[in-house]
Amino acid sequence: MKKLLLTLVVAGMCFGMVGCASQKPLTPEEIAAERERQIQMTTRIYEGKTPEEVLLAADRVFRLADDDYNVSHQGTSLQAQRNWLIYIVIAASKGTDTWVVQTFPVENGTKVIAMHNGQEQGINAAPTANFNGGMGVTATTGPMMTNITTSPAIYQLFFARLDNLLGKSPNWITCKEANKLFTDGNLDPFCTVANDRTPDGKSAVQRNRELEQANQ
Per-residue pLDDT of the chain (216 residues; tens, 9 = 90+): 444 433 333 333 343 334 455 789 999 999 999 999 999 999 999 999 999 999 999 999 999 999 999 999 999 999 999 998 887 767 778 889 999 999 999 999 999 999 999 998 776 655 665 666 665 556 566 666 789 999 999 999 999 999 999 999 999 999 999 999 999 999 999 999 999 999 999 999 999 999 999 998
Pick left, alpha or beta for residue 133 (phi over 0 → left; psi -120 to 50 → alpha; otherwise beta).
left
pLDDT at 126: 59
Nearest to 9 by CA among 90, 112, 81: 90
Sketch the domain layout of the chain as residue ranges.
3-7+41-208
Nearest to 149 by CA among 120, 112, 181: 120
Element (H, E) at 215: helix 204-215
Phi first, then psi: what are they for 215, rounded to 5°?
-90, -5
pLDDT at 12: 38
pLDDT at 216: 84
Q: Strand, coil or helix: what is 47?
A: strand
pLDDT at 16: 38
